[in-house]
Amino acid sequence: MMDQVDRVIYDLKNNPFSRRIMTNIYVHQDLSEMNLYPCAYSMTFNVTQKKGEDRLIL
């Protein structure tokens, strides 16, 4: 079974220009134990490539 990190790595390798490479940075099951919801709740990964270069930028 893939977890969120595995999915992000897979997508970065196989579909790096996708706009859907994102993950939650908290565990949903822990929300009931938190007094407040986290301010930061997700990470989105954007990959770009400069014109004429082979390398990708994360």
The pLDDT tens digits of the residues spanning 2-50 come to: 788 899 999 999 999 999 999 988 887 888 888 888 888 889 999 998 8
Residues ≥6 apart with Cβ < 8 Å to 18 = 11
Largest pairwise CA distance in the chain: 50
Place of tokens 């939650």: 24
The pTM score is 0.69
